[in-house]
RNA sequence: GGAGAGAUGCCAGAGCGGUUGAAUGGGGCGGUCUCGAAAACCGUUGAGGGGUUUCCCCUCCGAGGGUUCGAAUCCCUCUCUCUCCGCCA
């Protein structure tokens, strides 16, 4: 969440922000301000009453221990206690309202984010490599996979339904190789520590990274246990340090983890219905950073470079896109997408999304660090990015490395992993 | 799933219902001593929030309710952890 003080000091800034994010009118800021004012008034008033209660109760204790009469004082406390009770109830109701709205407010935007309505206004910041030339008509990965009998969508449907798939033989092995290659690259060359954590998390975790409460429809939740299947390893990784105070020396802290990711893909009916591009379960290697605030934008550039390096070593053409204000996710202040070239689909496909969340997630999840001994803890900045989505990487390898006879050449960097 | 035990500050570990935000020990930090270090001794060391913001106040002893003028201490519910049994990749 954003700093509540911003609401008091500069409400126009937030109004403008919502405008840029195409969210104007979605949130009643004036009502929120009113609730906050009432809320703080109630806090101040109960504070006074409690102070009275503490003082008088001590007085009562003192008199009783001396055997003196305290009946008058006890009588006096009845009114005070009734007042506290009423104000507590009011405060609780106001706090709930306030937090609900606050949690659904999006993050601030960095000034470098271009203004725009939707993905058409995103800015391409660079291209790497070139589109490969084929002396035949390149096929989409799902056709290649069907012909080689390594991607089985029919049986995926039989087992779990639409948008599920089965890998057989080479595809299963190739994806495993891709994941291992990516993890090794990030841990041995980019300084990330490999983590393995649960794929199922509690609501506090989902709130911490911003999935809940606003976007509940997009995830699988096991109601009976109050747990959710993670849509990305960002959730367990970022929440590793929820409710903790880190030492300055621990920063910057880089972690990576491979996981399956589960998404309902609500609202994307009819989109990317074939193949591996949009499915309910896919594997991904995620990169997460905890850093000092001053460094977070530099760290974002390095994070994108770490993700790009995967495609460079695979020698696959891609471009990097800076998302515009209307397309950046609610939690993020600035996001770069890496889009890989898919010759069979004849378009670029998002394969990584790298974001700087500033203190938005850290405030929700209470992830702090000690700037200097004796000082109050400060919020860290968190970042994350895919490094990369494994299923889409598999599809990209299949399409870019396909041969005229319908086979796939294994990229050099993956060969050690295919022995 | 069955039976039992427990949940207190960075850690360990006390805490007749009243002045306990919390004894004591350890650790950390600062100091004395020392050529330096160790030892010893002295001091200091949680977080969140509100305000009339060099200071004052409120809240927090797993979470949520309740009893009471007053709860870390009493009652209820929940969660989690540990031990034993059962089951099991």
ipTM given for this complex: 0.84
**CATH number of the domain where residue A47 is located:** 1.10.287.40
CA of A225 to C1' of B87 (A): 21
CA of A354 to C1' of B37 (A): 50
At residue A70, the pLDDT reads 75
Q: Closest by alpha carbon to A131, among A278, A304, A303, A339?
A: A339
- Asked whether residue A326 falls in the same domain as residue A358, the answer is yes
**Bases of chain B within 7 A of a CB of the protein:** 18-19, 29, 47-51, 57-59, 65, 69-70
Nucleotide with the nearest C1' to A56 CA: B69
Active-site residue flag, A50: no
Residue with CA nearest to B45's C1' atom: A374
Where chain A has pLDDT below 70, the residues are 374
List the catalytic residue out of A40, A53, A63, A278.
Answer: A278
Strand partners, A367: A244
Report helix angle A170-188 to A390-400, nearest 10.
110
- Asked whether residue A349 falls in the same domain as residue A402, the answer is yes
> Of the candidates A51, A70, A104, which is a domain's last residue?
A104
At residue A327, the pLDDT reads 95
Query: What's the token pair of residue A328?
Result: 């950046």
- Asked whether residue A148 falls in the same domain as residue A28, the answer is no
From residue A23, give the alpha-carbon distance in Å to each of A14, A16, A17, A387.
11, 10, 8, 30
At residue A79, the pLDDT reads 84
User: Which residues touch A201 (CB under 8 Å, ≥6 apart)?
Assistant: A227, A228, A230, A235, A236, A239
Tokens 């849509």, located at residue: A231
CA of A67 to C1' of B74 (A): 24
- Asked whether residue A124 falls in the same domain as residue A14, the answer is no
A366 is a domain residue:
yes
A71 is a domain residue:
yes
- Asked whether residue A304 falls in the same domain as residue A389, the answer is yes
Q: Residue A226, by phi and psi: left (phi above 0), alpha (psi -120 to 50) or beta?
A: left
Nucleotide with the nearest C1' to A78 CA: B69
A394 is a domain residue:
yes
Residue with CA nearest to B59's C1' atom: A47
Residues with CB under 7 A from strand B: A 4, 40, 43-44, 46-48, 50-51, 53-58, 60-62, 64-65, 74, 77-78, 81, 92, 245, 368, 373, 376-377
Distance in angstroms (rounded) separating the CA atoms of residues A379 and A292? 8
Report helix angle A11-20 to A29-65, nearest 10.
140
Nucleotide with the nearest C1' to A39 CA: B50
- Asked whether residue A167 falls in the same domain as residue A291, the answer is yes
User: Domain range for residue A63?
Assistant: 4-104
CA of A142 to C1' of B15 (A): 69
Active-site residue flag, A350: yes
Active-site residue flag, A265: no
CA of A379 to C1' of B38 (A): 39
Strand ranges inside A264-346, DSSP E: 281-291, 318-322, 334-342
- Asked whether residue A85 falls in the same domain as residue A130, the answer is no
Active-site residue flag, A353: yes
Active-site residue flag, A21: no
A112 is a domain residue:
no
CA of A232 to C1' of B11 (A): 35
Nucleotide with the nearest C1' to A363 CA: B48
- Asked whether residue A144 falls in the same domain as residue A65, the answer is no
- Asked whether residue A182 falls in the same domain as residue A99, the answer is no
- Asked whether residue A389 falls in the same domain as residue A351, the answer is yes
Q: What angle do CA A104, A105, A106 make, to 5 degrees?
A: 110
CA of A196 to C1' of B21 (A): 38
- Asked whether residue A323 falls in the same domain as residue A240, the answer is yes
At residue A5, the pLDDT reads 86
A111 is a domain residue:
no
At residue A85, the pLDDT reads 86
Q: Do the Cβ atoms of A165 and A159 come closer than 8 Å?
A: no
């Amino acid at each position: 969440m954003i700093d509540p003080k911003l609401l008091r000091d500069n409400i126009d800034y937030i109004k403008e922000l919502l405008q840029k994010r195409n969210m104007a009118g979605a949130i009643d800021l004036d009502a929120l301000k009113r609730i906050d004012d009432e809320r703080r008034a109630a806090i101040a008033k109960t504070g006074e009453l409690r102070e009275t209660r503490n003082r008088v109760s001590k007085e009562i204790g003192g008199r009783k221990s001396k055997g003196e009469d305290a009946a008058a004082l006890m009588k006096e406390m009845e009114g005070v206690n009734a007042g506290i009770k009423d104000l507590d109830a009011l405060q609780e109701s106001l706090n709930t309202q306030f937090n609900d709205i606050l949690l659904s407010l999006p993050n601030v935007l960095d000034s470098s984010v271009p203004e725009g309505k939707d993905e058409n206004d995103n800015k391409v910041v660079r291209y790497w490599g070139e589109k490969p030339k084929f002396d035949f008509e390149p096929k989409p990965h799902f056709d290649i996979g069907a012909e080689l009998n390594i991607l089985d969508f029919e049986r995926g449907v039989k087992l779990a339904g639409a948008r599920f798939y089965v890998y057989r033989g080479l595809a299963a092995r190739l994806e495993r190789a891709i994941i291992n290659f990516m993890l090794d690259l990030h841990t041995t060359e980019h300084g990330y520590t490999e983590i393995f954590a649960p794929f199922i998390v509690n609501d506090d975790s989902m709130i911490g990274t911003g999935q809940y409460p606003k976007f509940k429809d997009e995830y699988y939740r096991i109601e009976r246990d109050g747990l959710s299947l993670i849509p990305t390893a960002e959730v367990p990784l970022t929440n590793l340090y929820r409710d903790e105070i880190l030492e300055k020396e621990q920063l910057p802290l880089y972690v990576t983890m491979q996981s399956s990711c589960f998404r309902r893909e609500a609202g994307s009916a009819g989109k990317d219905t074939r193949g591996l591009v949009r499915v309910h379960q896919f594997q991904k290697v995620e990169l997460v950073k905890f850093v000092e605030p001053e460094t977070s934008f530099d760290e974002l550039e390095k994070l994108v470079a770490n993700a790009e390096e995967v495609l460079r070593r695979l020698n696959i053409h891609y471009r990097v896109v800076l998302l515009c204000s209307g397309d950046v996710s609610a939690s993020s202040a600035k996001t770069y997408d890496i889009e890989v070239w898919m010759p069979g689909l004849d378009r670029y496909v998002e394969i990584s999304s790298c974001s700087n969340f500033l203190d938005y997630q850290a405030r929700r999840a209470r992830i702090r660090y000690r700037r200097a001994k004796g000082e109050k803890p400060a919020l860290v900045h968190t970042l994350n990015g895919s490094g990369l989505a494994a299923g889409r990487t598999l599809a990209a390898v299949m399409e870019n490395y396909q041969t005229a006879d319908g086979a796939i050449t294994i990229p050099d960097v993956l060969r050690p992993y295919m022995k």
